[in-house]
Structure formats: C-alpha cells, structure tokens
C-alpha cells in the first residue's frame, strides 16, 4: 500500500486493492480509523508478513466490517483476522486453507462467512458459536461430515455444502429452523440405507446403566460413586419411538432418508441403542425409493415448510 495513505485519505471508508498483485499490506493500513470495507481479492497475499503486525490492536480492528481476501494464497486463517471483532463479512474463498481454526468463534458479529474453494477437510464444532451467522459457504472443499453442533446456528439462512465428500447429514440439521437454502449437489450422498456398520457390544457397565435408566430404578448420589452418577447422567435416548431405550457409549449408526418439500430425500444419521432396535426404514434391502413413507412423515411434516430450497442437482 502506498506510504502516506492515511494522511491523504484520513476518512477513507472503502478500500479496494483487488487484482493489483499485492504480496503484503503495510502498516499504513493501521492508521485508517474509518475504514469499514477492505477488498483485496485476487492478489498474492499469504506469505509471512502479508498482513501488518498489530492489526488486532489498531483502530481498524473496531471499524472494519467487511473483509474480502478471496483468491489469494493463505494456507491458514491468519490469527490476526480473528481479532477483528467487528467483522460482519469475511471471505477467504479460493485460497489454500487446510482447516478452520476453533478461534473462529471469537468473531461474534460475523454474519457472512465464505470459505469455498479451499482444501478444508473438517468443520470445528466451535463454528456453531457464531450467534449472528446467516450465510455459511463451505462449497468446493473436502469435507466429509458435518458436526451436529451446527444445529446451534439459529440465525443461519443459507448453507452451501456442494462439491464436498459428504455421505450423510446429522439429523440435528432439522433444528435449523430458519434455514431456507441448503446446497448439497456434487456430494456422494448415500442412495441406499447402510446396515453393515461396525457395532461394538455394550460393556457390563453400560448394560447396567441402561437397566437403571429404562426401569427407572431410583438412586441418589449417596448410593453410588460420583463417577457412576456422572455416567448415568450421560444417557442418550434412542430416537426409535417404539423403543424407549437409552445408550451411553455403544450405539448403532443408521442412515434414514427424510423428505423435504416432497421432492428430495436427504440422508440423516440416526443413532440407535442396538441392532435389534432397527425399524423398517433401516433395512439394507430397501432403496430410498421403496422406503416406508410412515417412517419419515413426522420429521417431514416438521421440516418441509422450513426448507424452501434444497439444491441437490
């Protein structure tokens, strides 16, 4: 950036240096107290010293609302960006990112996050701690699974996951009550139910714990060691409405297809307490088109009005 920029334009609010071949942005950037939009797309940023030191402590950290660094060479999200607490829009698409740092949760004001076109393989659960996030773009990466914690993004309106490596979605995604666009095309989403999944038999402790919970055997902290009381509090309810059982560490993963808008079927992961608990929808001999409609009616009726756009092709 040119020297004296802050002296020439002390009230500068928008700066666009896209496509200029920049390899670094100098300290002049730190002296722009009114800057709220910085566009630096399609440059050569990403090496050591690309961003000025002290970025997180400069007036810019409070004023900047929109930052676009797409089309550069960042292999990781620069830690300094995570100190820009006033950011509402952050774009790092088309870089070389390998992952998303857990500290992304520090950007509490973030409403738009674009990380498409990178090499990201996993989504940290901490991403779900962005209360204002409305648009999340993670397309064209190498993501294999979605953490169920993303269901905590109650403000989310659009979720772009196309062209990844997803084979199923967590059933918790139905809790995204304001989501009206979900893009999934280009993923190897399963088209048949999965039965041949590894199931580790429950331990004697788990069997005992299941019995205590399902039979409502009374106990108090004075009856059992603290570790067992804590263990019993971690019981998860089996989602099969005909079961009523619980599980702790040992469960069976089953994929269930749920109708959206009567047009698409999405594969959602369910966790059952045992192989014997499988309901008719889990049979591997049934394809998604021959699945009993009654198995998804309840969830479909809840979710259909929520999902206005489900883009699978």
Report pLDDT for 46: 94
CB 113 within 8 A of CB 137: yes
* Domains, the chain: 5-187 (3.80.10.10)
Report pLDDT for 165: 92
Report pLDDT for 137: 96
Report pLDDT for 257: 65
Report pLDDT for 64: 93
Name the one residue in this structure whose structure tokens are 């700066």: 15
> Would you say the C-alpha torsion 113, 119, 125, 126 has a positive or negative sign?
negative
Kindly tell me the burial class for residue 80, based on how many C-beta atoms sit within 10 Å of its own C-beta (0-12, 13-18, 19 or more).
Answer: middle
Instruction: Give the residue ranges of the chain where pLDDT is below 50.
Output: 1-3, 191-197, 279-307, 313
Neighbours of 56 (CB within 10 A): 15
pLDDT tens across 188-233, in order?
A: 875 433 444 456 778 899 899 999 988 999 998 888 898 998 899 9
Structure tokens at 303: 């979710």
Report pLDDT for 9: 66
Report pLDDT for 187: 87
The number of helices, as runs of H, and strands, as runs of E, in the chain is 5, 14
Report pLDDT for 106: 94
Report pLDDT for 190: 54
Report pLDDT for 28: 80
CB 155 within 8 A of CB 136: no
pTM greater than the 0.85 cutoff: no
């Amino acid at each position: 950036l040119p020297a004296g920029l802050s002296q020439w334009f002390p009230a500068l609010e928008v700066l666009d240096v896209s496509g200029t071949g920049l390899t670094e942005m100098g300290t002049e950037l730190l002296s722009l107290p009114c800057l709220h939009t910085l566009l630096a797309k399609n440059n050569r940023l990403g090496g050591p010293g690309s961003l000025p030191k002290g970025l997180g402590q400069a007036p810019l950290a409070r004023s900047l609302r929109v930052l676009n660094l797409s089309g550069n060479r960042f292999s990781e999200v620069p830690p300094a960006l995570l100190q820009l607490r006033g950011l509402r829009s952050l774009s790092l698409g088309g870089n070389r990112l390998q992952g998303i740092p857990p500290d992304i949760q520090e950007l509490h004001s973030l409403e738009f996050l674009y990380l498409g076109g990178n090499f990201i393989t996993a989504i940290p659960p901490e991403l779900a701690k962005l209360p204002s996030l409305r648009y999340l773009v993670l397309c064209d990466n190498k993501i294999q699974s979605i953490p169920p914690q993303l269901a905590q993004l109650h403000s989310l309106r659009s979720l772009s996951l196309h062209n990844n490596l997803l084979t199923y979605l967590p059933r918790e995604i139905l809790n995204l009550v304001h989501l009206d666009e979900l893009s999934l095309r280009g993923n190897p989403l399963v088209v048949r139910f999965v039965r041949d999944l590894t199931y580790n038999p429950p331990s004697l402790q788990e069997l005992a714990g299941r019995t205590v919970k399902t039979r409502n055997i009374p106990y108090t902290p004075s009856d059992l060691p603290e570790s067992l009381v804590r263990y019993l509090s971690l019981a998860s309810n089996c989602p099969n409405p005909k079961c009523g059982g619980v599980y702790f560490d040992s469960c069976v993963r089953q994929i269930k297809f749920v109708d959206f808008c009567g047009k698409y079927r999405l594969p959602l992961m369910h966790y059952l307490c045992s192989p014997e608990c499988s309901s008719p929808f889990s049979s591997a001999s049934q394809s998604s088109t021959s699945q009993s409609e009654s198995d998804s009616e309840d969830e479909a009726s809840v979710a259909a009005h929520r999902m206005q756009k489900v883009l699978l092709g």
